[in-house]
Amino acid sequence: MSPPWTPDRFEDLFRSTAPAVRRYLRRHVEADAVDDALAETFVVAWRRLDRVPEAALPWLLVVAHHTARHHWRSRRRSEALWFEAVRAHWHRPDPSPEDGVLRRDDALAALAQCSDLEREALLLVAWDGLSHTDATRVAGCSTRAFTVRLSRARARFDRASAAGPHDDASETARLLALLEQP
Protein backbone atom coordinates (compact mmCIF):
# COMPACT_ATOMS: atom_id res chain seq x y z
CA MET A 1 0.00 0.00 0.00
CA SER A 2 1.37 3.36 -0.95
CA PRO A 3 1.61 6.12 1.65
CA PRO A 4 -1.01 8.87 1.80
CA TRP A 5 -0.50 11.57 -0.76
CA THR A 6 0.01 15.17 0.09
CA PRO A 7 1.14 18.07 -2.07
CA ASP A 8 4.51 17.92 -0.27
CA ARG A 9 4.91 14.24 -1.10
CA PHE A 10 4.05 14.94 -4.73
CA GLU A 11 6.63 17.74 -4.80
CA ASP A 12 9.23 15.37 -3.33
CA LEU A 13 8.27 12.76 -5.94
CA PHE A 14 8.66 15.29 -8.72
CA ARG A 15 12.01 16.58 -7.48
CA SER A 16 13.44 13.09 -7.05
CA THR A 17 12.18 11.48 -10.28
CA ALA A 18 11.73 14.26 -12.85
CA PRO A 19 15.38 14.26 -14.01
CA ALA A 20 15.27 10.50 -14.71
CA VAL A 21 11.89 10.77 -16.45
CA ARG A 22 13.19 13.70 -18.51
CA ARG A 23 16.25 11.66 -19.59
CA TYR A 24 13.96 8.83 -20.65
CA LEU A 25 11.72 11.18 -22.64
CA ARG A 26 14.70 12.87 -24.33
CA ARG A 27 15.50 9.51 -25.88
CA HIS A 28 11.93 8.96 -27.09
CA VAL A 29 10.48 12.29 -28.26
CA GLU A 30 11.83 15.36 -30.07
CA ALA A 31 13.69 17.90 -27.96
CA ASP A 32 10.91 20.47 -28.27
CA ALA A 33 8.31 17.99 -26.97
CA VAL A 34 10.20 16.76 -23.88
CA ASP A 35 8.82 19.34 -21.45
CA ASP A 36 5.24 18.78 -22.60
CA ALA A 37 5.62 15.01 -22.32
CA LEU A 38 7.17 15.39 -18.87
CA ALA A 39 4.26 17.57 -17.77
CA GLU A 40 1.74 15.07 -19.15
CA THR A 41 3.49 12.24 -17.30
CA PHE A 42 3.25 14.06 -13.97
CA VAL A 43 -0.35 15.12 -14.61
CA VAL A 44 -1.19 11.42 -14.84
CA ALA A 45 0.74 10.84 -11.60
CA TRP A 46 -1.18 13.65 -9.89
CA ARG A 47 -4.53 12.31 -11.08
CA ARG A 48 -3.67 8.77 -9.97
CA LEU A 49 -1.91 9.58 -6.73
CA ASP A 50 -3.44 6.61 -4.99
CA ARG A 51 -1.97 4.21 -7.60
CA VAL A 52 1.63 5.47 -7.56
CA PRO A 53 3.73 2.89 -5.68
CA GLU A 54 6.45 3.72 -3.17
CA ALA A 55 9.09 2.90 -5.81
CA ALA A 56 7.59 5.40 -8.22
CA LEU A 57 10.24 5.67 -10.94
CA PRO A 58 9.39 2.43 -12.83
CA TRP A 59 5.69 3.34 -12.71
CA LEU A 60 6.44 6.86 -13.98
CA LEU A 61 8.60 5.49 -16.80
CA VAL A 62 5.70 3.29 -17.93
CA VAL A 63 3.48 6.39 -17.97
CA ALA A 64 6.22 8.30 -19.85
CA HIS A 65 6.44 5.44 -22.36
CA HIS A 66 2.70 5.66 -23.01
CA THR A 67 2.96 9.44 -23.28
CA ALA A 68 5.76 9.13 -25.86
CA ARG A 69 3.77 6.58 -27.88
CA HIS A 70 0.75 8.91 -27.83
CA HIS A 71 3.00 11.73 -29.02
CA TRP A 72 4.23 9.69 -32.01
CA ARG A 73 0.71 8.52 -32.93
CA SER A 74 -0.45 12.14 -32.89
CA ARG A 75 2.52 13.20 -34.97
CA ARG A 76 1.88 10.49 -37.59
CA ARG A 77 -1.78 11.56 -37.84
CA SER A 78 -0.74 15.20 -38.15
CA GLU A 79 1.78 14.42 -40.91
CA ALA A 80 -0.79 12.32 -42.77
CA LEU A 81 -3.23 15.24 -42.64
CA TRP A 82 -0.52 17.61 -43.83
CA PHE A 83 0.31 15.42 -46.82
CA GLU A 84 -3.38 14.97 -47.60
CA ALA A 85 -3.91 18.74 -47.52
CA VAL A 86 -0.90 19.34 -49.77
CA ARG A 87 -2.12 16.75 -52.27
CA ALA A 88 -5.62 18.23 -52.27
CA HIS A 89 -4.42 21.80 -52.88
CA TRP A 90 -1.44 21.24 -55.11
CA HIS A 91 -2.24 22.74 -58.49
CA ARG A 92 -0.36 21.58 -61.53
CA PRO A 93 0.49 24.46 -63.85
CA ASP A 94 -0.17 24.19 -67.55
CA PRO A 95 2.79 22.43 -69.10
CA SER A 96 5.26 24.74 -70.77
CA PRO A 97 8.94 24.41 -71.67
CA GLU A 98 9.94 27.02 -69.05
CA ASP A 99 7.86 25.56 -66.24
CA GLY A 100 8.65 21.85 -66.54
CA VAL A 101 8.36 20.22 -63.12
CA LEU A 102 8.16 16.78 -61.63
CA ARG A 103 4.77 15.22 -61.50
CA ARG A 104 2.99 16.15 -58.28
CA ASP A 105 3.12 12.67 -56.79
CA ASP A 106 6.83 12.30 -57.59
CA ALA A 107 7.57 15.61 -55.87
CA LEU A 108 5.49 14.67 -52.83
CA ALA A 109 7.18 11.29 -52.62
CA ALA A 110 10.59 12.98 -52.82
CA LEU A 111 9.54 15.51 -50.15
CA ALA A 112 8.34 12.66 -47.94
CA GLN A 113 11.92 11.33 -47.90
CA CYS A 114 13.08 14.53 -46.16
CA SER A 115 12.84 15.10 -42.41
CA ASP A 116 10.44 17.80 -41.22
CA LEU A 117 13.26 20.34 -40.78
CA GLU A 118 14.78 19.49 -44.16
CA ARG A 119 11.38 19.70 -45.87
CA GLU A 120 10.74 23.08 -44.24
CA ALA A 121 14.13 24.41 -45.46
CA LEU A 122 13.54 23.14 -48.99
CA LEU A 123 10.03 24.56 -49.21
CA LEU A 124 11.03 27.95 -47.77
CA VAL A 125 13.61 28.37 -50.53
CA ALA A 126 12.02 26.54 -53.47
CA TRP A 127 8.30 27.00 -52.88
CA ASP A 128 8.11 30.26 -50.95
CA GLY A 129 11.02 31.80 -52.87
CA LEU A 130 12.79 33.15 -49.77
CA SER A 131 16.45 34.05 -49.75
CA HIS A 132 18.73 32.02 -47.47
CA THR A 133 18.84 34.93 -45.00
CA ASP A 134 15.05 35.27 -44.84
CA ALA A 135 14.51 31.52 -44.73
CA THR A 136 17.00 31.24 -41.86
CA ARG A 137 15.00 33.82 -39.90
CA VAL A 138 11.72 32.02 -40.59
CA ALA A 139 13.22 28.65 -39.59
CA GLY A 140 14.54 30.19 -36.37
CA CYS A 141 18.01 28.68 -36.56
CA SER A 142 21.56 29.71 -37.35
CA THR A 143 22.67 30.25 -40.93
CA ARG A 144 24.97 27.25 -40.65
CA ALA A 145 22.19 24.98 -39.36
CA PHE A 146 19.86 26.13 -42.13
CA THR A 147 22.53 25.59 -44.79
CA VAL A 148 23.12 22.05 -43.51
CA ARG A 149 19.36 21.33 -43.49
CA LEU A 150 18.95 22.68 -47.01
CA SER A 151 21.97 20.78 -48.30
CA ARG A 152 20.70 17.53 -46.81
CA ALA A 153 17.20 18.19 -48.12
CA ARG A 154 18.50 18.82 -51.65
CA ALA A 155 20.58 15.64 -51.57
CA ARG A 156 17.71 13.55 -50.19
CA PHE A 157 15.26 15.10 -52.69
CA ASP A 158 17.72 14.48 -55.52
CA ARG A 159 18.17 10.82 -54.56
CA ALA A 160 14.41 10.28 -54.15
CA SER A 161 13.66 12.06 -57.43
CA ALA A 162 16.26 10.05 -59.30
CA ALA A 163 14.85 6.80 -57.90
CA GLY A 164 11.21 7.55 -58.76
CA PRO A 165 9.43 7.16 -62.09
CA HIS A 166 9.45 10.28 -64.29
CA ASP A 167 7.91 11.27 -67.56
CA ASP A 168 10.97 13.29 -68.50
CA ALA A 169 14.39 13.37 -66.84
CA SER A 170 14.93 16.94 -68.04
CA GLU A 171 12.02 18.05 -65.84
CA THR A 172 13.85 16.69 -62.80
CA ALA A 173 17.04 18.45 -63.82
CA ARG A 174 15.21 21.77 -64.24
CA LEU A 175 13.53 21.50 -60.82
CA LEU A 176 16.79 20.58 -59.11
CA ALA A 177 18.50 23.51 -60.84
CA LEU A 178 15.83 25.80 -59.38
CA LEU A 179 16.38 24.31 -55.92
CA GLU A 180 20.14 24.87 -56.14
CA GLN A 181 19.85 28.60 -56.78
CA PRO A 182 20.75 30.67 -53.68
Instruction: Give the pLDDT of residue 68.
Output: 93
Q: Which residues of 3-18 are buried (b: 16+ CB within 10 A; e: fewer)?
A: eeeeeeeeeebbeebe
The answer to whether residues 47 and 98 belong to one domain is: no
Domain-terminating residue out of 20, 47, 77: 77
Read off the pTM: 0.45
Count of structural domains, the chain: 2
Identify the pLDDT of residue 91. 64
My answer on whether 100 and 34 are in the same domain is no
Residue at a domain's end among 48, 77, 106: 77
pLDDT mean by block of 10 residues, the chain; 182 residues: 67 92 93 94 90 88 93 89 80 52 64 82 81 84 90 83 56 52 48
Report the CATH number that the domain containing residue 43 is assigned in CATH.
1.10.1740.10
Domain that holds residue 46: 7-77
Let me know: does 87 contact 108? Beta carbons within 8 Å.
Answer: yes
- If asked whether residues 55 and 132 sit together in one domain, one would say no
